[in-house]
Amino acid sequence: MIPETISSLLHQCSKTKSFRRGFSLHAVVLKTGLQSDVFISNHVVNMYAKCGKLDPARRVFDDMSERNLVSWSAMISGYDQVGDHALALELFSRMRLVPNEYVFGSAISACAGLRDLVKGQQIHAQSLKFGYAYVSFVSNSLISMYMKCARCDDALSVYEEVSEPNSVSFNALIGGFVENQQPEKGFELFKLMHRQGLMPDCFTFAGLLEICNNSNDLNMGKVLHCHTIKLKLDSTAFVGNLIMTMYLKFSLVEEAEKVFRLIEEKDVISWNTLIAACSHCADHEKGLRVFKEMSNDCSVKPDDFTHASVLAACAGLASVLHGKEIHAQLITARLCQDVGVGNALVNMYAKCGFIGYSYKVFSKMLHRNLVSWNTIIAGYGNHGLGRMAIKSFEQMITAGIKPDSVTFVGLLIACNHSGLVEEGELYFNSMEETYGIRPNIEHFSCLIDLMGRAGKLHEAEEYMKRFPFGMDPVVLGSLLSACRLHGDVVMGERLAKQLLKLQPVSTSPYVLLSNLYASDAMWVDVAEARKMLKGSGMKKEPGYSMVAVKGTFEKFTVGDFSHSRIEEIKYMLKILCWAVVDVCSNHDIVILLDRYTYI
């Protein structure tokens, strides 16, 4: 095989990152004794570097009897691209040849990666000395380096000295201003770029779309979206994913889905973004539908993030059937090693009521993090297994895992659901004293609810006086509910008045007060509470259930008889009603017949 052919093939391997073929060609080079040819050896070094295999690249580089600028450039660039910036600079400092623009560019990029301003300024001075500072490749690297080091003025100075800045120059400046919390300047440069007739590319929009966070930015985001449509960039996965993320910051799921549907070649990030958005907006059924659609797309394979998101959807629907199917797929594909996926499985089984399976997955996890422990503690708590939650907490501390705010929410809920009042108080008081975690409204609500359920109403009220969020509507509502439970009308009325002064945004205070009066047969006061609710203009949100039928979910809302098969449902309910008559008391029969008269 002639040297020109080997060089050409190695070059192709570098471009396509074909490590195995490149490795075979390296063997041919050694076998034919061509390693002494600096041209061939440079291709071998470059091939390994482009494939991210820096150790064999360095061995070939060190064994070269003769090195030229290309040899040094390939190694320095390779180290920089894999993130080993310190080695890139160490190699640059050993170089005795005058660097060219590519070496300077890679070395400056390494300084940016390390945020090493002093070294970057030194190399900038060298590039000025040898006349390379205003070559496009070097000047763009300098702009990025100064921006990474938060020296925006220096970056602008470099830009102003460049005779013909290109789109890469503008992208570096726009992205830099965004990173340095100066979005207005980023948008100004975008307008300047447009006036100068330069075409924005996907990297231009990457920086600008990222900063559209508040309501004022939404209009700008829509303008940028229009620009991407004009440039036909919205149909690319890279830009489409950014636009989806921008809309999802404003919970505009429908807009995000429209963008998703227009992406021509969706990548795994496109699918993950939409699935996660469905879960975030509690549309778990849709999340599962999108996952099923993704599974039918042979061009994309789900990754760990996909599985974690879709398992969260299963947990939200309490659909153990779908959860088990995904778990089976993971076992078959041997993809259960990721800690995020393991945590999602633990959570899914716990939310579906299978705490035994949940613990089994937890116990088999090779690696556990704080989220793993928090998930199993919360799972035990929600199942009323307070002692097991406490035991898991103690094991976590023994394992050297430091608890966080979420840990104590799960722990306090566990104590609440198990009636462990003393333990709950102890853990609440230990948060700041022992672990340096200041209790927030969630912890306080758990404590008040715990004490209220246990009948310690006055002790709970004393706690409320000691903490700044004692007058929070959630806390007041929690104790008011406890007053109803224990029939303390006097305290309940007092709390209700405080709660109504806060101008509640839900019907809960009125309903709780009405129920409190009803528990003491104070019907006149019940009517008054209902009248107050009507006068508030608020309506009680109807409850609903979701039932899995042949793999799809049917939603049933209280008072809604619009279902396409409502007559069949009513007929079946009546059959079930009569079927239980034999096991009910006369009083229960009257109630059942009365209820189903309206169906």
Residues 573 and 537 in one domain: no
pLDDT at residue 599, as a whole number: 46
**Among residues 353, 267, 343, which one has the least CA distance to residue 308?**
343
**311-355 pLDDT, tens per residue?**
999 999 999 999 999 999 898 887 667 899 999 999 999 999 999
**Among residues 283, 337, 331, 335, which one has the least CA distance to residue 310?**
283
Residues 551 and 570 in one domain: no
SS3 track for 401-466: CCCCHHHHHHHHHHHHHHCCHHHHHHHHHHHHHHHCCCCCHHHHHHHHHHHHHCCCHHHHHHHHHH
C-alpha span between 446 and 441 (Å, rounded): 9
Residue 554 lies in a domain: yes
Residues 395 and 475 in one domain: no
**Among residues 185, 99, 171, 174, which one has the least CA distance to residue 138?**
99
**Can you tell me the mean pLDDT for 494-512?**
67
Residue holding tokens 């839900």? 506
Domain of 536 in residue numbering reads as: 464-560
pLDDT band (50, 70, 90) for residue 476: confident
Beta strands 552-557; 544-549: pairing state: antiparallel
Task: State percent of the chain over pLDDT 90.
Answer: 63
The pLDDT of residue 255 is above 90:
yes
* Helix ranges (DSSP H) in 115-252: 117-129, 136-148, 152-161, 167-179, 183-195, 202-210, 215-230, 237-248
Asked if 6 contacts 28 with a C-beta cutoff of 8 angstroms, the reply is: yes
Residue 544 lies in a domain: yes
Residues 404 and 469 in one domain: no
Residue 362 lies in a domain: no
**185-242 pLDDT, tens per residue?**
998 999 999 899 899 999 999 888 887 876 668 888 999 999 999 999 999 999 999 9
C-alpha span between 409 and 347 (Å, rounded): 15
The pLDDT of residue 433 is above 60:
yes
Last residue of a domain, one of 379, 404, 439: 439
Residue 408 lies in a domain: yes
Residues 406 and 420 in one domain: yes
Residue 44 lies in a domain: no
Residues 556 and 487 in one domain: yes
Number of separate domains in the chain: 3
Residues 418 and 398 in one domain: yes
Residue 69 lies in a domain: no
Residues 478 and 428 in one domain: no
pLDDT at residue 551, as a whole number: 62
Residues 584 and 503 in one domain: no
Task: State percent of the chain over pLDDT 70.
Answer: 87
The pLDDT of residue 106 is above 90:
yes
Residues 542 and 489 in one domain: yes
Mean pLDDT of the residues in the chain: 87
**390-422 pLDDT, tens per residue?**
999 999 999 999 999 999 999 999 999 999 999
Residue 49 lies in a domain: no
Residue 230 lies in a domain: no
Asked if 553 contacts 317 with a C-beta cutoff of 8 angstroms, the reply is: yes
